[in-house]
Amino acid sequence: AKNKLWGGRFKVDTSELMDEFNASLPFDIKLLKYDVKGSLAHVQMLAKQGILTKEETKKISSGLQAVKKEIEKELAAGKFDFKEAEDIHSLIEARLTAKIGEVGGKLHTGRSRNDQVALDLRLYLREETLDLRKMLLDFMQVILDLAEKHTETIMPGYTHLQRAQAITFAHHLLAYYFKLKRDYERFGDALKRINISPLGSGALAGSSFDLDREFTAKKLGFIRACKNSIDGVSDRDFVLEFLAVASNLMLHLSSLSEEVILWNSKEFSFIELADQYTTGSSIMPQKKNPDLAELVRGKTGKVIGNLNQMLLTLKGLPLAYNKDLQEDKEGLFASVETLKIILKLYPEMLKTMKVKKKEMQKAAAKGFLNATELADFLAVNNIPFRKAHQIVGKAVILAAQKEKELEDLQKSDWEEIFDSDLKEELKVDFEKLKEKLKVETAVNSHSTLGGPAFKESQSIIQK
């Protein structure tokens, strides 16, 4: 077969459709710089081991750099032919040999595309993970800055999407801060396993050449070389792990997006998103839609889908390399690109949105968010909490009937609520109770570690 690295054994060329089906160049072109980087380290090691002469090493190394530049130029000019080769590895080797002659063929000494592609993917993912971590850290800072401005901005906290207890906007934002912090740490953990060198694993059984695998591992900035050549070429756990962490991050952003969408609605009116990060309707002139948040929610499905695809691709694969593994790239690349754009846009959306403090506070004052406060108050006044819970339940019914809030109930209302036997025991100080039921008092009395009290959020942010 013509133009194939492996053509020697074949009498007849592959069919055109087979070539198209088999090819990975349209997507693994992304690995260009990593493939060259890996090859340069490999060649250097071959020279050190006396497998290549100095002369050959020089020729191959400068040839590789030239080939890289040449391809980059064609790509930038839109002149690159994606049908030129089967994959990025074949492309570079063919171009190298065309440039420097037969000696180019020595580059592949002691190496297989199987350890080569595993190497490239790890180099790629290491760089992207480091970048993503930086972006995530900046994002976390934006959330922290926003929280700092809103430690006294009272809003309703929800369970079952029903108003539950009063919190602050800072307290709510800090919940996301800590979720993202764990994602940041998880990316760091994944890096420990991404950053292992498979180079020198060969096709699956290492090499009869005296390769110095620790040398190339060091040269390429890896923690160490992997300790089993079969594992080296077949392991894609590192892709799975990355995608799992990415999915987790997307789930967090999807929840936040759902809330942003709700908050931005007329019904909630807690925030107003800036024009730059919203879109309009082609028919309804009044619309300002939260598309960015909606897309983040939508793209979460894609990233999780990519994780699922990878799990399914790997399921039941025998060792070592199988061509199924070529399917490890597109979903990964797409997920990385999605995360990168989201991590750039999202902080901007948060920074530019208007926070409607008054609306938040108004919502927190209505809907009996202080019912637990009242039950606690009764409990402190020696009524067993269960009983107190029942009494407050009655109070809520009565207040709802009279279209009042709990703090507006009169002495006569309370007499109606309390059991006759309790009336005797309880001498309620209604002034005290009113104060206790104020939303601000309620928030600040919840001063447990990690709670919504103004001071507590402030001290968490300071740390």
Closer of 117 and 417 to ligand ARG (Cβ): 117
Closer of 325 and 406 to ligand ARG (Cβ): 325
What span, in angstroms and rounded, lies between the C-alpha atoms of 260 and 399?
Answer: 31
Closer of 160 and 323 to ligand ARG (Cβ): 323
Q: What's the closest the beta carbon of residue 122 comes to ligand ARG, in angstroms? A: 13
Amino acid symbol at 71: I
Q: What's the closest the beta carbon of residue 3 comes to ligand ARG, in angstroms? A: 15
Closer of 206 and 367 to ligand ARG (Cβ): 206
Phi-psi group of 382: left, alpha or beta (phi > 0 → left; psi -120 to 50 → alpha; rest → beta)? left
Closer of 24 and 44 to ligand ARG (Cβ): 24
Cβ burial 433-463 (10 Å sphere, 16+ → b, else e): beebbbbbebbbbbeeeebbbbebbeebbee
**Catalytic, out of 15, 62, 265, 281:** 281
Q: Site residues (CB under 6 A) for ligand ARG?
A: 24, 28, 87, 113-114, 117, 321, 323, 325-326
281 is annotated as an active-site residue: yes
- The set of residues, in sequence order, having a beta carbon less than 8 Å from that of 253 and lying 6+ positions away, is 296, 300, 342, 346
The 8-class DSSP code of residue 270 comes to S
The alpha carbon of residue 74 and the mean position of all alpha carbons in its chain are separated, in whole angstroms, by 33
Cβ burial 134-148 (10 Å sphere, 16+ → b, else e): ebbeebbebbbebbe
Q: What's the closest the beta carbon of residue 321 comes to ligand ARG, in angstroms? A: 5
- The token pair that represents 156 in the structure block: 């309703």
- The set of residues, in sequence order, having a beta carbon less than 8 Å from that of 340 and lying 6+ positions away, is 128, 131, 132, 135
What span, in angstroms and rounded, lies between the C-alpha atoms of 128 and 134?
Answer: 10
Closer of 333 and 346 to ligand ARG (Cβ): 333
**Catalytic, out of 160, 282, 412, 420:** 160
Closest CA to 155 of 143, 144, 165, 142: 165
Closest CA to 45 of 216, 197, 200, 208: 216
| CB 173 within 8 Å of CB 271 | no
Q: What's the closest the beta carbon of residue 38 comes to ligand ARG, in angstroms? A: 13
For residue 279, report the phi and psi dihedrals to the nearest 5 degrees.
-130, 165
Q: What's the closest the beta carbon of residue 119 comes to ligand ARG, in angstroms? A: 11
Q: What's the closest the beta carbon of residue 328 comes to ligand ARG, in angstroms? A: 7
Q: What's the closest the beta carbon of residue 239 comes to ligand ARG, in angstroms? A: 12
Closer of 114 and 444 to ligand ARG (Cβ): 114
- E strand or H helix that includes residue 272: strand 271-272
- Residues annotated as catalytic are 160, 281
